């Protein structure tokens, strides 16, 4: 019996177990400190829907052996472009939402292709370079947001006249377009975001189906054993680029879903560190640098958003102080550091 | 087949261009930006002088991990944090002047050693991805630093000077005025040279560190570190404890970074408790890479060339951006873009070159093998 | 053995740095002073120097503040009448323990009384 428990701890990893029990503890404490459990669970579900697709976007690149996508920002930028262009065109409702997605996919494919080609030249060192590609592209876009010729009065600085604002509200366009879709209201405070969850499940299904196609299995082969894949006649480089394009595209869609739920489009430096929470969530769900599955996405996103939602409210009520931000930093980055140091053991 | 000849048999001029691509491109950018910005020459010289004395020490701390083959040590941030904690304490105890600065160094050293040890062990468990891990480790420690300084100090850790505490009675303020130690090292002996105030002692300290690094390379420990950096397996066979040597190199780097951050802060005179160390890693590494260093090789000249080029760009960007496109804000973003872009470009370039060389070596080995087989089997065939 | 001596040496250096660097607040009063029944009055302006650094002028009934670092200090005052130095100069040395602050009274100091300096923790 003890051996079995040790085995589970070895496989799942002590930090994950600790975080799981921590979350259970938080849920247990919630009613005691006066926080409504049902509202909390609803909050967690809403945030899960908001962030889930971004976490999902990491999976293709892990499967193809490109590692964790520290350059997630490229996909986010594609999504941002889609969002602001659709607002510039005054498109509202579902039309606006899908137009944003369409434009985003267009940019994502281009960016993903370039990004993938670059990653192919530096196989083995992708993660550090990706981080800085992500950072430099966000800073580059800062310049672009200022000088691109956008005219919509909802988006540009009121008195200066040129350049987009830092935060743009999408209310009146496609705010909550998914969240309110088929929304299930329970009582005064609970609003289950059916639309968002349905959309997430839809994308999950697409990804799952994709990896059952010939291309999908080729990508997985490239990731687990590139030499063998090459000898089977698979074009390793092409498969990697496809996986990068896929990841970037899903991320682009992901940020738009995030925005429809959040209510704001955040430009300039906001996306700078957005890769890290997504990566931490994926790792929390059981993935590693070389292996990731949809199961990891769902478990990880749920656990991560659970911690993010519950920690501030519960701990603030207990200790009367707002440590949540620092705790979140320690948790998410600690998870990533842990995962990075585990790799060696898995290989041997 | 085309890549085979890329780096090995090109003529030396092109090879020089590729090896030093980053500083060359950067120099061109700076050369264009300086006249654009319209800033006067003597102002620039004065500013560069200040930045050299302020930043060189901490950038020098990056050199030893490169020797040990651990790449760019993003976790020097840990050392910076240790230094800042030391400064918080001496400000609390109201110790001033050079004594204050030295005391800060003294009490933060054990903390820096501890953090360096921790960092070294973590990096050892992440062989092959030290840079990403170091990068994430810096973020992690930032969170822990926040927990300690924003919540622990004044609470569990006794702080008596209420000037530096937040109004709520615990947690350190966002910015601490280091008036006691401002210029402590710089003003010890200063020379006035044509309108320029030169902090003699600081320069001597920097020179001493440079000489220490050069001397260190020749010591036995230095040789061990270099051999670990060149090839782990060869080093292990010669009896060197690879793991310990790597940890030691990180400890040394962290302690140096701790002192470097204290020197940096005594020059500025104010400490942004939660922000001062954030950009330290990125800017120091960017400067080093701009100076021509690479993941596998970094020398003392790289540090100084890097500081001059990188910080000149830093200073002229806002004005140049304004002149070019009409918005000073652009210069700010351009500066950030350049810092990150330089690192991305250098690292990518280096990784690409390393891969190409590995391919070359592999092909050469295969060709050799074939030749040997053929010479021992003149009848031909495999 | 070496490590223990090293640690001890470092601790001693630390204590040394702490004492030489600790900042103290010194208040200087150019005010009338009373000891028991005897009163000492002030009737001039003085130029104050502490540790060879000029603190400023103190007129009658004024209080000045100086921040100094370390343990041993020297205060020098020069008398001024009608904005001109009269040539009268007084000097005193004093030591401060690590956590002490001090208040110096000028008339008392001129008249060489023991209570010219008041050290508080």
Q: What's C23-120's CATH class?
A: mainly beta
Work out the minimum CA distance from C4 to partner chain B, whole angstroms. Answer: 15
Whether residues C21 and B95 touch (CB distance < 8 A) is answered with yes
Judge whether C21 is closer than 8 Å to chain B, CB to CB: yes
As a whole number of angstroms, the distance between CA B60 and CA B303 comes to: 6
Place of tokens 């806002």: B318
Helix (H) or strand (E) segment spanning residue B302? helix B300-325
pLDDT digits (tens, 9 = 90+) for B294-307: 888 899 999 999 99
Average pLDDT on A85-105 reads 87
What pLDDT, in 10s, does the model give residues B16-47? 777 788 888 888 888 888 887 788 888 888 88
- Are B303 and B52 contacting, i.e. CB atoms less than 8 angstroms apart? no
Q: Cβ atoms within 10 A of the Cβ of A267, count?
A: 24
- Distance in Å from the first CA to the final CA of chain C: 39
Tell me how far CA of residue A338 lies from CA of A129, B11, B29, B133, in angstroms. 20, 45, 40, 9
Cα(B316)–Cα(C37) distance, rounded to whole angstroms? 71
- Higher-confidence residue of A125 and B76: namely B76
Between CA B106 and CA B51 the distance in angstroms is 25
Beta bridge partners of C79: C46
Whether ipTM exceeds 0.90: no
CB atoms < 10 A from the CB of B233, how many? 8
**Residue of A289, A346, A268 whose CA lies nearest to A130:** A289
Position C10 pLDDT exceeds 80: yes
Among all residues of chain A, which has the CA nearest to that of B148? A326
If you average pLDDT over residues A36-55, what whole number do you get?
87
- Residue closest to A267 by CA, chosen among A194, A166, A195: A166
Highest mean pLDDT among A96-100, A233-237, A248-252: A248-252
What's the Cα-to-Cα distance from A29 to each of A66, A326, B121, B273, B306, rounded to whole Å? 41, 20, 36, 33, 54
Using the Cβ of C37 and the Cβ atoms of chain B, whether some distance falls under 8 Å is answered with no
Integer Cα distance of A142 and B336 in angstroms: 10
Specify the DSSP class assigned to residue A213. Answer: S
What is chain C's length? 121
Judged against a pLDDT cut of 90, whether residue A58 lies above it is answered with yes
Residue with tokens 């971004």: A54
Which helix (H) or strand (E) segment holds residue C105: the answer is strand C101-105
**Crossing angle, helix A294-319 and helix A275-284, to 10 degrees?**
100
- pLDDT per position as a tens digit, C20-70: 888 888 888 888 877 777 777 777 888 888 888 888 888 888 888 888 888
> What pLDDT was estimated at residue B332?
78
Task: Check pLDDT > 90 for residue A165.
Answer: no
- What are the domain boundaries of chain C? 23-120
Q: What is the mean predicted confidence (pLDDT) over B265-288?
A: 87
Distance CA C83, CA A219 (A): 92
Per-residue pLDDT of B218-264, as tens digits, reads 998 899 999 888 887 888 888 888 889 999 999 999 999 999 999 99
Cβ distance B352 to A326 less than 8 Å, yes or no, reads: no
- Binary contact (B93, C18; C-beta < 8 A): yes
B364: Cβ–Cβ under 8 A, 6 or more apart, which residues?
Answer: none
3-state secondary structure of C69: strand
Q: What is the mean pLDDT of residues A24-43?
A: 81
Q: Measured between CB atoms, does C56 come within 8 Å of chain B?
A: no
Tell the burial category of A259 from Cβ atoms under 10 Å away from its Cβ (0-12, 13-18, 19+). buried
Provide the shortest C-alpha distance from residue A320 to chain B (in Å).
12
Q: Which of B225, B222, B255 is nearest to B241 (CA)?
A: B225
CA A322-A324-A328 angle, 5° bins: 160
Residues in CB range of B29: below 8 A, 6 or more apart = B313, B338
What are the helix (H) ranges across chain A? Answer: 2-12, 14-32, 37-56, 59-63, 73-88, 93-121, 126-147, 194-210, 214-224, 226-231, 236-262, 275-284, 294-319, 324-347
What whole-number distance in Å separates Cα of residue B126 and Cα of residue A336? 12
Q: Would you mind telling me the total number of residues written for chain B in this entry?
A: 382
d(CA B344, CA B339): 9
Dihedral of CA atoms A247, A251, A252, A255 in degrees, nearest 10, equals: 180
Q: Is C53 on the interface with B (CB under 8 A)?
A: no
- Residue where the block lists tokens 């292996």: A291
Q: Please, what sign has the CA dihedral across residues B161, B163, B164, B167?
A: positive
Q: Can you give the pTM of this predicted structure?
A: 0.86
**Residue written as token pair 């705010």:** A175
Q: Does A139 contact B341 at a Cβ distance shorter than 8 Å?
A: yes
Size of interface B-C (CB pairs under 8 A): 39
Chain B contacts of A125, Cβ < 8 Å?
A: 347, 351, 354
For residue A3, how many other CB atoms are within 10 A of its CB? 7
Tell me if chain B has a CB within 8 Å of the CB of C71. no
% pLDDT > 70, chain C: 100
Cα angle A211, A216, A220; round to 5: 95
Question: Which residue carries 């500083």 as its tokens?
Answer: B23
CB contact under 8 A, B97 and C13: no
pLDDT in tens, A292-325: 889 899 989 998 888 888 877 777 777 766 777 7
Average pLDDT of chain C, as a whole number: 84
Give the least confident one: A41-55, A111-125, B58-72, B326-340.
Answer: B326-340
C 80-99 residues with CB < 8 A to B: none
Contact (CB, 8 A) for A183 and A191: yes
Nearest Cα residue to B264 out of B93, B96, B75, B84: B84
Question: What is the structure's pLDDT at B5?
Answer: 47
SS3 C48: strand
Does any CB of chain B come closer than 8 Å to the CB of residue C112?
no
Positive/negative CA dihedral, A341, A345, A346, A348 = positive
**Can you tell me the distance from the alpha carbon of B121 to that of A75, in angstroms, rounded to the nearest whole number?**
34
C87: left (phi over 0), alpha (psi -120 to 50) or beta: left
- For residues A82 and A251, what is the distance between their CA atoms, to the nearest angstrom? 12
Rounded to 10°, the helix A294-319/A324-347 angle is 150
Nearest to C19 by CA among B245, B99, A232, B117: B99
Contact B96 C69 (CB under 8 A): yes
Query: Is the model's pLDDT at B7 over the cut of 50?
Result: no
CB–CB contact B344 A329 (8 Å): no
Do A309 and A326 form a contact (C-beta atoms < 8 A)? no
| Burial bucket for residue B253 (CB in 10 Å: 0-12, 13-18, 19+) | buried
Residue of B98, B103, B180 with shortest CB distance to C18: B103
- Contact between C51 and C74 under an 8 Å Cβ cutoff? The reply is yes
* Set of chain B residues whose Cβ sits within 8 Å of the Cβ of A162: 327
In this complex, whether C and A touch, counting 3 or more CB pairs under 8 angstroms, is no
Question: Of the candidates A82, A28, A19, which has an alpha carbon nearest to the alpha carbon of residue A300?
Answer: A19
Instruction: Assess contact for A281 and A331: CB atoms under 8 A.
Output: no
| Among the partner residues A118, A129, A142, nearest to B333 by beta-carbon distance | A142
Q: What is the pLDDT of residue A243?
A: 93
């Amino acid at each position: 019996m003890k051996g079995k428990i040790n085995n589970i701890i070895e496989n799942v990893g002590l930090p994950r177990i600790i975080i799981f029990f921590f979350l259970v503890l938080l849920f247990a404490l919630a009613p005691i400190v006066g926080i409504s459990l049902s509202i909390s669970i609803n909050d967690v579900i809403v945030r899960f829907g908001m962030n889930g697709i971004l976490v999902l976007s990491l999976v293709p690149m892990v499967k193809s052996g490109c590692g964790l996508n520290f350059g997630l920002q490229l996909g986010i930028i594609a999504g941002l472009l889609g969002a602001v262009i659709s607002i510039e065109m005054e498109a509202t409702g579902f039309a606006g939402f899908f137009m944003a997605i369409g434009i985003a996919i267009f940019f994502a494919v281009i960016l993903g292709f370039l990004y993938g080609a670059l990653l192919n030249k530096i196989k083995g060192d992708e993660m550090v370079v990706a981080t800085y590609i992500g950072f430099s592209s966000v800073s580059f876009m800062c310049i672009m947001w200022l000088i691109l010729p956008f005219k919509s009065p909802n988006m540009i600085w009121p008195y200066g006249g040129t350049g987009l604002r830092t935060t743009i509200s999408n209310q009146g366009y496609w705010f909550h377009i998914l969240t309110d879709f088929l929304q299930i209201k329970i009582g005064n405070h609970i609003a289950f975001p059916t639309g968002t969850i349905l959309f997430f499940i839809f994308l999950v299904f697409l990804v799952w189906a994709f990896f059952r196609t010939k291309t999908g299995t080729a990508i997985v082969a490239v990731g687990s054993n590139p030499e063998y894949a090459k000898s089977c006649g698979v074009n390793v480089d092409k498969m990697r680029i496809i996986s990068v394009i896929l990841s970037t595209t899903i991320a682009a869609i992901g940020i738009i879903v995030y925005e429809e739920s959040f209510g704001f489009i955040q430009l300039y430096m906001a996306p700078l560190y957005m890769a890290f929470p997504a990566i931490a969530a994926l790792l929390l769900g059981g993935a590693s640098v070389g292996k990731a599955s949809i199961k990891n996405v769902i478990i990880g996103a749920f656990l991560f958003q659970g911690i993010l939602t519950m920690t501030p409210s519960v701990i603030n009520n207990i200790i009367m102080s707002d440590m949540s931000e620092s705790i979140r930093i320690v948790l998410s980055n600690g998870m990533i550091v842990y995962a990075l140091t585990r790799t060696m053991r898995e290989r041997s | 087949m085309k890549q085979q000849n890329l780096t090995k048999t090109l003529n030396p001029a092109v090879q020089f261009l590729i090896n030093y691509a980053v500083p060359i491109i950067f120099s061109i950018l700076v050369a264009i930006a300086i006249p654009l910005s319209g800033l006067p020459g003597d102002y620039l010289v004065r500013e560069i002088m200040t930045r050299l004395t302020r930043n060189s020490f901490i950038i020098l701390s990056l050199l030893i991990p490169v020797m040990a083959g651990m790449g760019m040590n993003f976790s020097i941030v840990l050392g910076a944090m240790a230094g800042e904690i030391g400064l918080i304490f001496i400000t609390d105890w109201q110790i001033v002047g050079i004594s204050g600065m030295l005391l800060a160094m003294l009490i933060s050293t054990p903390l820096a050693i501890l953090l360096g040890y921790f960092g070294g062990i973590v990096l050892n468990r992440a062989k092959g991805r030290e840079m990403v891990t170091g990068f994430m480790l810096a973020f992690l420690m930032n969170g822990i630093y926040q927990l300690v300084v924003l919540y622990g100090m004044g609470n569990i850790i006794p702080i008596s000077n209420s000037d530096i505490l937040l109004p709520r009675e615990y947690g350190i303020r966002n910015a601490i005025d280091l008036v006691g130690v401002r210029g402590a090292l710089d003003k010890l002996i200063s020379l006035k040279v044509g309108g320029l105030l030169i902090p003699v002692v600081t320069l001597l300290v920097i020179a001493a560190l440079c000489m220490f690094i050069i001397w260190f390379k020749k010591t036995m420990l230095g040789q061990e570190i270099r051999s670990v950096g060149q090839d782990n397996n060869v080093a292990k066979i010669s009896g060197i404890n690879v793991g310990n040597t790597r940890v030691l190199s990180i400890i040394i780097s962290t302690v140096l970074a701790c002192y470097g951050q204290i020197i940096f802060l005594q020059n500025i005179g104010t400490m942004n408790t939660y922000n001062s160390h954030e950009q330290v890693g990125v800017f120091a590494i960017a400067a080093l890479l701009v100076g021509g260093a690479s993941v596998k090789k970094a020398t003392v000249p790289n540090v100084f060339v890097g500081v001059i080029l990188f910080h000149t760009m830093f200073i002229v960007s806002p004005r140049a951006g304004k002149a070019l496109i009409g918005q000073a804000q652009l210069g700010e973003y351009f500066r950030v873009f350049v810092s990150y872009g330089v690192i991305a470009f250098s690292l990518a370039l280096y990784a690409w070159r390393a891969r190409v060389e590995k391919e070359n070596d592999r092909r050469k080995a295969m060709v050799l093998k074939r030749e040997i087989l053929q010479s021992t089997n003149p009848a031909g065939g495999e | 053995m070496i490590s223990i001596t090293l640690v001890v040496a470092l601790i001693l250096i630390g204590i040394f740095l702490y004492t030489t660097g600790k900042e103290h607040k010194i208040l200087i009063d150019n005010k009338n002073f009373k000891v028991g029944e005897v009163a000492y009055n002030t009737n001039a302006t003085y130029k104050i120097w502490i540790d060879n650094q000029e603190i400023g002028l103190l007129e009658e009934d004024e209080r000045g503040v100086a921040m100094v670092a370390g343990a041993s200090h020297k205060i020098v005052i020069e008398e001024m009448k009608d904005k001109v130095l009269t040539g009268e100069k007084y000097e005193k040395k004093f030591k401060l323990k690590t956590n002490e602050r001090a208040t110096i009274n000028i008339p008392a100091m001129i008249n060489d009384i023991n209570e010219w300096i008041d050290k508080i923790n």
